[in-house]
Amino acid sequence: MPTEAAPTIDDLHAAYAAGESPREVIAAVFRRIAAVDDPGIFIHLRSEPDVLADAARLPAFDPVGHPLWGVPVAVKDNIDVAGLPTTAACPAFAHVPGRSAVAVERLVAAGALVIGKTNLDQFATGLVGVRSPYPVPRNAFDPARVPGGSSSGSAIAVAQGIVPIALGTDTAGSGRVPAGLNDLVGLKPSLGAVSTRGVLPACRTLDCVSVFARTPDDAWRAYEVLRGFDPEDAYSRPVVTQTPADATPVRVLGVPRSADRLFFGDVAMAGAFEASLALMAPLADSREEIDLTPCFAVAKLLYDGPWVAERHAAMRSFLATNAADVHPVTRQIVDAASRFSATDAFEGLYKLADLRRVTEQIWSRIDALVVPTAPIFPTIAELAADPIGPNSRLGTYTNFVNLLDLAALSV
């Protein structure tokens, strides 16, 4: 269980305003890494002198002009950081980019200090966090259970108090499931709100850069830095976003009807969700039970439909020459995508369009929808016995969000 939380952005900026230096903050980060002693968190950890050199290049303290001034951050290792290898948790895939991803460039321009690259389910294929040739990051509350994935290392870096902010990606829930299983905030923006240029694709039509943080405020402040149109990213788009202070009050809160509260026998997770609903009751004027059947039908398209072929498209060239270097479960999933035809892809698009129209009727009646982030909390031993089943169940309430292009927050 975590024994120390990273300071929030406000905490850090108050300390800097009082005279503390980035050198002291960075030293504390590396002491915390040593104390946590989890070799599964980082695939590539920068040296303390290298991070200090970046800190020395920061302009004078200016939290308005540089809203992440002196804030340590971690970056998932499918997102490019100039000068550091990008492996996507596959050593044979490793290459050193000359330029950082746009998301990283924006963090650094805002004053953030990159500490290192974090572990993940290989090629961001999984929601469990154990499909990696590197050591499995330990869940912050129970090391016998999965850390969640695919952004496992980023989640644990925040949960263990190493950094206040970490970048992940979210194609089917990878930025929310690890947050939910480690008591964090996981922010998944809508498609194109944050540029994915410099991010290794999983499914290009669905991929989003996500944020892990301890608090909603920190997640929002990171998102404010990250968001913005990128004309060189074909999927980027201008997104109008209200500030939290200006957001429209929630009048009607949607919740799953009883038949759609699926926990697959996990009594603890079911109880936690019911407790969460009770806590959220005062946030809305009323709540309405929602039939999630169309949402579940959308989710089924992601894993059982032709969208898995997008992963094959992203990895096809590498697989042709390096199949033996790919994690066996990842290879099994991607190889299965070859069974889909172009006809299947179009039929999937038609079905998604029909289901999207049906779900629009849901949103006409509610302002927000509350669902479990994850319905189960499997052990690593359970994953060893069944590598696919628990992973699929973890995406029960996250998969449809990506295909419907919704924004989501795990809290």
pLDDT in tens, 47-93: 999 999 999 999 999 999 999 999 999 999 999 999 999 999 999 99
Residue with tokens 């419907």: 404
Q: Which residues on adjacent β-strands are paired with residue 117?
A: 44, 75
Return the DSSP state at 99.
S
Q: How far apart are CA 258 and CA 381, in angstroms?
A: 30
The predicted pLDDT at position 208 comes to 98
Q: Could you list the active site residues?
A: 76, 150, 174
Q: How far apart are CA 34 and CA 67, in angstroms?
A: 28
pLDDT-based confidence at 5, cuts 50/70/90?
A: confident
Pair 78, 93: CB distance under 8 Å? no
Laid out side by side, the sheet with 42-45 consists of 42-45, 113-118, 72-76, 165-170, 208-213, 185-188, 408-410
Q: Name which of 166, 278, 281 is nearest 222 in CA terms.
A: 166
Q: How far apart are CA 75 and CA 322, in angstroms?
A: 25
Q: Which residues on adjacent β-strands are paired with residue 202?
A: none
Domain with CATH 3.90.1300.10 in the chain: 9-243
Q: How far apart are CA 318 and CA 314, in angstroms?
A: 9
**At what angle are helices 216-226 and 9-17 packed, to 10 degrees?**
80
> Rounded to whole angstroms, what are the CA distances from 23 to 10, 70, 108, 296?
18, 9, 17, 49
pLDDT in tens, 348-397: 999 999 999 999 999 999 999 999 999 999 999 999 999 999 999 999 99
The predicted pLDDT at position 117 comes to 99
Domain with CATH 1.20.58.1700 in the chain: 245-404
pLDDT in tens, 215-227: 999 999 999 999 9
Residues 301-311, mean pLDDT to the nearest whole number: 91
The predicted pLDDT at position 98 comes to 98
Residue with tokens 């002693």: 37
Cα atoms in the Cβ-side hemisphere of radius 13 Å centred on 329: 22
* Structure token digits, residue 103: 């998301």
Q: How far apart are CA 81 and CA 366, in angstroms?
A: 40
> Rounded to whole angstroms, what are the CA distances from 141 to 121, 266, 302?
19, 17, 30
Q: How far apart are CA 8 and CA 259, in angstroms?
A: 39
Predicted TM-score (pTM) of the model is 0.97
* Structure token digits, residue 85: 């290898």
The predicted pLDDT at position 246 comes to 78
C-alpha dihedral (245, 251, 257, 260), degrees to nearest 10: -30
Residue with tokens 């690259």: 117
The predicted pLDDT at position 4 comes to 79
Which amino acid is it at 363? W
Specify the CATH number for 245-404; select among 1.20.58.1700, 1.10.150.120, 1.10.238.10, 3.40.50.2020. Answer: 1.20.58.1700
With a cut of 80, say whether residue 1 has pLDDT above it: no
Q: Which residues on adjacent β-strands are paired with residue 287?
A: 253
Task: Tell me the pLDDT of the chain averaged across its residues.
Answer: 97
With a cut of 70, say whether residue 341 has pLDDT above it: yes
Q: How far apart are CA 121 and CA 155, in angstroms?
A: 12
CATH dotted code for 9-243: 3.90.1300.10
pLDDT-based confidence at 113, cuts 50/70/90?
A: very high
pLDDT in tens, 139-188: 999 999 999 999 999 999 999 999 999 999 999 999 999 999 999 999 99
